[in-house]
Amino acid sequence: MPDGTESESRKLLGRLRDTMAEDAAGQARLDKITHLTADSMGSEVCSIYLFRDEDTLELCATEGLKKEAVHQTRMRMGEGLVGRVARSGKVVNTADAPSERGFRYMPETGEEIYSSFLGVPIQRLGETLGVLVVQTKQKREFTSDEVYALEVVAMVLAEMTELGAFVGDTAALSARHTQPTMLRGGTGQEGTTEGHVWLHEPRVMVTNLVADDPERESERLAAAIEQLRVSVDEMLAGAVEDAEQLEVLEAYRMFANSKGWRRRMEEDISRGLSAEAAVEKEQSAARARMSQVADNYLRERLHDLDDLSNRLLRILTGQGKDTGASMPADPILVARNIGPGELLEYGRQLRGIVLEEGSVGSHAAVVARALAIPLVINAPRITTEALNGDHIMVDGDQGIVHLRPDDTVVTAFRDKIAMQAEAQERYASIRQKPAVSLCGKRISLYMNAGLLADLPSLENSGAEGVGLFRTELQFLVRNKMPSRTELVRVYKRVIEAAETAGHKPVIFRTLDIGSDKVLPYMKPTDEPNPALGWRAIRVGLDRPGVMRMQLQALLRASEGRPLTLMFPFVAQWEEFRAARAEVDKAIAIERKLGHVVPEKISVGTMLETPSLAYASNKFFEEVEFVSIGGNDLKQFFFAADRENERVRRRYDTLNVSFLTFLEQIVQRCSATGTPLSFCGEDAGRPIEAICLAAIGLHRLSMRPASIGPVKSLIMRTDLDALYDVICDARERGEQSVRGAVMEYMRWQG
């Protein structure tokens, strides 16, 4: 604007507010905004471009360009200077637009006579909705005051777009949160489901964007920040034993006391924004920066600032988390991310979960798998796109979310769910039958578990026992270390439930922490590659106090009954021997205390590192059983981080080299008579499972819901003939046997 004064900024915002208050159609409002902005900025042109779909911007209103170009001129993301602003989320300010890299001339607009260009993204909470542009014939760069003024107008446009102020007949002016949307994320837990959205963090809607009394708004902001500081101090006082939570809260305190953060918001207020709008403007800027930052620590700090801004907005608007809305009968939880404790509070009432962030090994994914709830992770924009009560369909198998699906999608999706339900009914008829192949091989199918809520599946799924009980979940869902008494109580209930289900065995895996499973009360270690770092048995041996406490709890819970346990992530024989010695020490202590010890104790290990596969024969003779941890072993074999979406699907489990490696492990265990099993996601995938069985892995452990499909296919397969197919594919030099196996299975019918 010509003089760059705060009063001019407030005048423009006041005129924009009056325009919004008028009873006018969306197009008329946009037209008036471009006129007002061009007039206030002293520019010949002001144009508004909005997205009509994910990749296409459309000229929706203009002052100065040819009117016939409105709703006709379109460009792809990244195309031209406007597309560059949209893609980068950054301002482009140039005195000579035609000479700029990437400039695209749009002849139908008549813009060839304009030299200077200022484009700012229309953003709300990190999501780019469009681009706002001003242009002049005179060659000049716009001042910082002018850039700021246009950013404020863009912020108001974003909020009003969110509130439906510009709804019209074209795709770019369609009402937000009403159109069918498909989001593609990643699989956190398989399964398909449908229901209605329940937001873990309800949206805060800002409706009063412009204020006439800056002094009053500054007072409101100051009071809200003081209330925020007090609440952060109270949280800090209650978190004295929680190192990680203390670190987060200290970051909260730093931001709550940040003079820069407060100064920027006060400047926004002085230019005419309300306190709420000033907070959200700063929050949007933080989210935009977050998307550009690769450093994990900085991203976490920006997350802290984002969360703090949400708290401040709730204080200012009075919109608490409890909005009065009732949870739907078929809730699909939607959240940016969620901790295991919070997820367990929802429990099995959830039909599904969709997270904007997360990873396959995150605490939330571990709990979702334990509860058998379909989970999609890394679903972009889901928290800004979804509203409470929206119809939503979740395909955890493909990592796809259908939000507000149309009738065609609903029909196809329900057909898929019906087919799965029909298959489950068929599986129920073979629940009590053994998994015996057509060639007479008996395959033992076990289930993975980690929560008491899993245990009813022992009977319902047809599992022959628990092949892996993850003991870390009892540690992950608490804010402090569980006591030995609490652990005894949990482990005892697990053993008793297995007895009630028909004296079925349970294999307890000792504490597997580190890497992607950091305890809330454990100080995180600064490691460049935690998956290869200080985790699992390494932590247990270096800090034996927790291991001893857990071993004593397991011994006491058995009350003299047989006990089977295994150690995770053993990389060499010496680690197993050291861990086995800890078991002997724990037994000696229990006897000395006069406690009953198990009548029989079996101690094994998970084979998750290639190094252990090449241990000496003495190791295989000494260990009482081995369980291949397929998820970790696969990532180390292929050097492909399973948390990295770019590479984790790159390598096939049925790759010839991996199957050959697994077969070598089978042969080593067979030579020493060491019982061997396979535990992991691939054990629960029917095609992978029959191939594992064909190469000699006759004991598989998987999620309960997979037992029926796997058993059904085993019973219909000649494993000897399938092994010949695998060997033939290997002899032909094929990289993966999948194609040959699928062709054989189709031929078999």
Cβ atoms of 459 and 498 within 8 Å: the answer is no
Q: With H, G, I as helix, E, B as strand and everything else as coil, classify residue 207.
A: coil
User: Cα(567)–Cα(582) distance, rounded to whole angstroms?
Assistant: 11
Which letter does DSSP use for residue 717 in this model? -
DSSP code of residue 60: E
Secondary structure in 3-state letters for 410-461:
HHHHHHHHHHHHHHHHHHHCCCCCCEECCCCCEEEEEEEECCHHHCCHHHHC
Cα distances from 397 to residues 203, 374, 420, 695, in angstroms, run 28, 8, 12, 26
The CA–CA distances, whole Å, from 437 to 431, 434, 446, 600, 666 equal 15, 9, 17, 32, 19
Name the pairing type of β-strands 181-184 and 375-377: unpaired
Question: Closest Cα partner for 509 from 445, 479, 454, 466?
Answer: 466
Residue 60 bears catalytic tag: no
> What is the full DSSP assignment across 508-575?
EEPP--BTTB--TTSPPP--S-GGGSS-THHHHHHSHHHHHHHHHHHHHHHTTS-EEEEESS--SHHH
Catalytically annotated residue among 363, 402, 669, 691: 363
Q: What's the order of all strands across the beta sheet hosting 74-76?
A: 74-76, 56-63, 45-53, 127-136, 116-124, 92-94
3-class DSSP state for residue 94?
Answer: strand
Selection from 404, 390, 405, 396 nearest residue 377 by Cα: 396
Query: Which residue of the set 46, 60, 669, 679 is catalytic?
Result: 679
**Nearest C-alpha neighbor of 609 from the set 697, 523, 537:** 537
Q: Which two tokens stand for residue 689?
A: 């499972």
Q: Three-state SS string across 701-713, please? A: EECHHHHHHHHHH
DSSP 255-303: HHT-HHHHHHHHHHHHTTB-HHHHHHHHHHHHHHHHHH---HHHHHHHH
Structure tokens at 231: 């609440």
**Using H for helix, E for strand and C for coil, what is the string for 317-368?**
HCCCCCCCCCCCCCEEEEECCCCHHHHHHHHHHCCEEEECCCCCCCHHHHHH
Coil, strand or helix at 462: coil
- Three-class SS state of 700: strand
Angstrom distance (rounded) from CA 162 to CA 124: 8
Give the C-alpha separation, 656 to 250, whole Å: 51
Distance CA 376, CA 183 (A): 10
Strand (E) or helix (H) holding 181: strand 181-184
Contacts of 319 (CB under 8 A, 6+ apart): 202, 204, 205, 313
Amino acid of residue 659: L
Q: Annotated catalytic, 363?
A: yes
The set of catalytic residues is 363, 679
